């Protein structure tokens, strides 16, 4: 049974494990330790029969909720896990009266190819904005521009059944 919760302290090692298996440039173990202890970050974890299979990390300001990282373990994709997590983030944004939710992704992931995320983001309701954000990411030590996608916080209002 898939469970989504943001109660309690997330386990940095479990999240690091999902991160490493999902991204070419995962956050370091040190960074994950800081994130799980940070009062400025929120983490929601999806668990299948108690085992973490997906997470979302986000930050809130009065104007915007910003998703810093969203990922679902490969073998559990296309089963609604990300929508369950996003529904929680969007509900949080509405409760906080933040009008929009945004996510910044590396420019290289918006073009056709195996790492493409723009189709997914557009499918769930985000719209890409311009101009790109100069040098927002450092991938393997090289600066890479970021592309901000934005969705009104009313976009995802209900969790899928
Ligand atoms: C992108 C990602 C988070 C999607 O997670 P997921 O749990 O498989 O997505 P869901 O099953 O919740 O799918 C939600 C909707 O998006 C669609 N979708 C999922 N992956 C998609 C893709 N790669 N391209 C287009 N649409 C996609 C689903 O069909 C579903 O549509 P529906 O509601 O009409 O049925 C997951 O593939 C992932 O972790 N990828 C690697 C890390 C990454 O790229 N993170 C995202 C950064 S924005």
Residue 160 confidence (pLDDT):
54
Q: How far is the CA of 63 from the centre of ligand 1 (A)?
A: 26
Tell me if 44 sits within 8 A of 56, measured CB to CB: yes
Residues (pLDDT < 50) of the chain are none
159 C-alpha to ligand 1 centroid (Å): 14
pLDDT recorded at residue 156: 87
Report the phi/psi class of residue 97: left, alpha or beta, with left for phi > 0 and alpha for psi in -120 to 50. left
Residue nearest to atom 12 of ligand 1 (CA): 80
CATH superfamily placement of domain 2-152: Gcn5-related N-acetyltransferase (GNAT) (3.40.630.30)
What distance in Å separates the CA atoms of residue 79 and residue 100, rounded to the nearest whole number?
25
- pTM (2 decimals)? 0.94
| CA angle, residues 135, 146, 23, in degrees to nearest 5 | 105
pLDDT of residue 9: 65
Sign of CA dihedral 34, 73, 2, 110: positive
**How confident is the model at residue 161, as a pLDDT?**
55
- Which residues lie with the beta carbon below 6 Å from any ligand 1 atom? 22, 70-72, 77-83, 103, 105, 117, 119-121, 123-124
Q: Quick check: 47 and 80 in contact, CB under 8 A?
A: no
């Amino acid at each position: 049974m898939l469970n989504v919760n943001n109660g309690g302290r997330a386990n940095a090692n479990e999240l690091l494990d999902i991160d490493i298996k999902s991204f070419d440039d995962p956050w370091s173990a040190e960074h994950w330790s800081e994130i799980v202890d940070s009062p400025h970050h929120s983490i929601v974890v999806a668990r299948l029969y108690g085992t973490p299979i997906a997470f979302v990390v986000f930050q809130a300001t009065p104007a915007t909720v910003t998703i810093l990282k969203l990922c679902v373990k490969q073998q559990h994709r296309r089963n609604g896990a990300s929508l369950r997590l996003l529904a929680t983030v969007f509900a949080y944004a509405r409760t906080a009266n933040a009008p929009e939710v945004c996510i910044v992704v590396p420019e290289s992931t918006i073009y056709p190819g195996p790492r493409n995320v723009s189709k997914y983001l557009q499918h769930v309701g985000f719209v890409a904005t311009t101009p790109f954000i100069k040098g927002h990411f450092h991938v393997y030590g090289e600066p890479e521009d970021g592309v901000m996608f934005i969705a009104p916080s009313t976009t995802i209002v209900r969790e899928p059944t």
